[in-house]
Chains A and B, each alone.
Chain A
Amino acid sequence: QVQLVESGGDVVQPGRSLRLSCAASGFIFTNYAMHWGRQAPGKGLEWLALISYDGSDKYYADSVKGRFTISRDNSKNTLYLQMNSLRAEDTAVYSCARDSGGLDYFDYWGQGALVTVSS
């Protein structure tokens, strides 16, 4: 079955960097675009970034553009989110999600990794 497992969540100080990973299994990773999203405490879901199946195309939400970078290693079936210049408002549970195949809805999500930005 499809599994997406995030790792790398931590407590970091404002201005520092952190890299999240998402290990994918149960499907042919190279066939699917992938997304990152987040959910701040008590808030709704926010889409952050999309990467095409081969990594050639990337899209970002304005809130993270220029600070966050999405990437993937298809040889390792792993998705990444490099987060730089972190702010307190980036505190959230970060989840990866598989695109359904049409760059539209997300058919599987991981449980998420908690990132807390605090001094």
Chain B
Amino acid sequence: EIVMTQSPATLSVSPGERATLSCRASQSVSSNLAWYQQKPGQAPRLLIYGASTRATGISARFSGSGSGTEFTLTISSLQSEDFAVYFCQQYDNWPPYTFGQGTKLEI
């Protein structure tokens, strides 16, 4: 099973600033990585797939990068609606599909 590790667990950033979230895989997942955003009481929302491709309707403020074992989600110029929990997920080697434990982005 591929273990996904996200850092930091909590990231405090001010509105208008840039946030950089990290995700590491225990073995290479190539570019088979997705990022999701989840707000309290809401369903997860797909942000990025293929490590760097934005999903339909996702703001260009969200960008993904990386391949192999190291990945980054960058959110430029944070807005109030961006404060949420972010998860990464590998789909290179399944079952099981595996997720990171999440990074909480707070003001």
Q: Is the CB of B99 within 8 A of A104?
A: no
Q: Mark B68-84, 1 if CB is under 8 A from A, else 0.
A: 00000000000000000
Q: Report the Cα distance A1→B18, complex, angstroms.
A: 31
> Does residue A109 face the partner (Cβ distance < 8 Å to B)?
yes
Q: Is the CB of B32 within 8 A of A104?
A: yes
Q: Report the Cα distance A18→B97, complex, angstroms.
A: 24
Q: Is the CB of A110 within 8 A of B98?
A: no
Q: Report the Cα distance A45→B95, complex, angstroms.
A: 15
Q: Is the interface of A mostly helix, strand, loop or mixed?
A: strand
Contacts of B43 in A (CB 8 A): 4, 95, 108-112
Q: Is the CB of B49 within 8 A of A61?
A: no
Instruction: Report the contact-size class of chain A (Cβ under 8 Å from the partner).
Output: 20 to 34
Residues in A lying within 8 Å of B, measured CB to CB: 4, 35, 43-47, 50, 59-62, 95, 97, 100, 103-112
Nearest 8 Cβ contacts at the A-B interface: A105-B34, A109-B43, A104-B91, A47-B97, A44-B101, A45-B99, A59-B95, A105-B49
Q: A61-B95, A105-B46 are in contact. List 18 more A-B contacts (CB 8 A).
A: A4-B43, A44-B87, A44-B99, A44-B100, A44-B102, A45-B102, A47-B99, A95-B43, A95-B44, A103-B94, A104-B49, A105-B91, A106-B36, A106-B46, A108-B43, A109-B43, A111-B42, A111-B43
